[in-house]
Amino acid sequence: MALNISSDLVPQVINDYNAYTEDDLLIGLADEVTLPKIKNKTTSVSGMGIAGEVDSPVPGQFESMEATLNWNTMYSYATKMMNPNKNIQITLRAAMQNDNKNGGYTYKGLRVVLGGRPKELDPGKLKRADTMGSTTTLEVTRYLMEVDGTTVIDIDKFAGRYYVDGEDMRAEINALI
């Protein structure tokens, strides 16, 4: 099911959001989250009849995906996330604010699920009357994004799953292997 975007709405900002564990416990205090960049693996193709090289994407194959969570201070969940023997799942739930062109606001829900393993913990700094600026970096193997309940991105590297707007990008490939 494709995402329906009204021409009467002007997307503006993330009004607010929260972060949750895989057990649906609010962990909050994530000041900012840098979502993973989705970058296809590519291969360089050249040969007779091709005027130069073409950097060709390989559908369903991705480069490393990282997410960075910025914390106000260090606390127990940030350090628990560094257990290399445990997969981590973080769910972010946000309210996206839109101008409805009639002078009012409407809101759409955004849900992002990030799953993977810890890569890095930067405890930050200590400064009187200031946040620590701690960060946790995850190697993301599971990436799900929903807007108002509609799945727009669904990647699971270990399950060989890759959907965009509900369409299985690997259907033909998976049918052959």
Instruction: Let me know if residue 155 belongs to a domain.
Output: yes
Mean pLDDT, rounded, of the chain = 90
**pLDDT value at residue 79:** 73
Instruction: Let me know if residue 3 belongs to a domain.
Output: no
**pLDDT value at residue 112:** 97
138 contact partners, CB below 8 Å, separation of at least 6? 66, 67, 68, 69, 81, 88, 90, 114, 116, 117, 118, 119
Please state the φ and ψ torsions of residue 13, each to the nearest 5 degrees.
Answer: -145, 165
Taking only the tens place, the pLDDT of each residue in 5-39 is: 667 788 899 999 998 888 877 776 667 899 999 99
Q: How many domains does the chain have?
A: 1
Beta-strand ranges (E) seen in the chain are 10-20, 30-34, 40-45, 54-62, 66-71, 88-99, 105-122, 134-147, 150-156, 161-164, 167-168
Q: Which CATH number fits the domain that encloses residue 80?
A: 2.30.110
